[in-house]
Every structure is written in structure tokens, then in C-alpha cells.
Amino acid sequence: MSADSGTDNVVPMRPHARAPEPPLRTAIGQALREVRTAQRRTLSDVAEDAGVSMQYLSEIERGRKEASSEILQAVCGSLRIRLSDLLAQTHRVLTVGSRPMSARPPRGPVLMAA
């Protein structure tokens, strides 16, 4: 028997495998698009009101460009939301994934393959 505390046979726990989170710029873009489309506003309308080009706003929404805090503030102003509202929506995107906000988790028993 070894002199240690009996930890020779202990296997460290591995964290549960998770799908990788999208880059922050992608989550912010998705959150902006969700807010804009929920308001039934066009890219053109929001971009013009925010003082950015429609192409640039589209690239932000698609996660191709990382917007500065000033641009995000301008877009939030156009959408009439606070920056904290955008961050809350971004948090939902990151934690819920790309599932639509109206989607509900399954009810009742869920069968899983072994």
C-alpha cells in the first residue's frame, strides 16, 4: 500500500462536452438581427438612422465585422434599446444557441441513445 492518501486510482472528472460558443461578434450580430427583425425594420432603415452604411450593418449582423462600442451604441439608439438590452439578448444567444426564442424545450420523457 502506498503512503499517499489513496488517490493513485482517482481519475479526474472531465467537463461535459459542449458545443463551442460562437465568437462574440457573431452572437452580437445575431442579437442585433433578432431585435431588428422583431421590430419589423429593414437593414436600410436602421443603418440610415444609426449613421452607418447598410452593408456595414449587414456585415455586423452576419458576424463578419466587429463593431466598436460607439457603433453599437448608435445601432441600439436606432433600435430604441439600451446597450444593456443588447447585451442581455447576446447572453441569450450564447446560452440558448441559435434556437429561436419561441422554441421550447421538449416536454415529458426524452429518450436518449446509450
- The number of domains in the chain is 1
CA-to-CA separations, 9 to 1, 5, 6, 13, 101, in angstroms, rounded: 12, 11, 7, 13, 45
pLDDT score of 9? 73
The verdict on pTM exceeding 0.85 is no
Would 69 be classed as within a structural domain? yes
Report residue 94 as a C-alpha cell.
Answer: 450564447
pLDDT score of 20? 78
Q: What is the CA radius of gyration of the chain?
A: 21
Q: Kindly list the averaged pLDDT for each block of 10 residues, start to end, along the chain of length 114.
A: 61 64 94 97 98 98 97 98 97 76 48 58
**CATH number of the domain that residue 75 is part of:** 1.10.260.40
pLDDT score of 4? 56
Helices 69-79/43-50 angle, 10° precision: 120
Would 73 be classed as within a structural domain? yes
pLDDT score of 102? 41
Would 29 be classed as within a structural domain? yes
Range of the domain at 59: 24-96
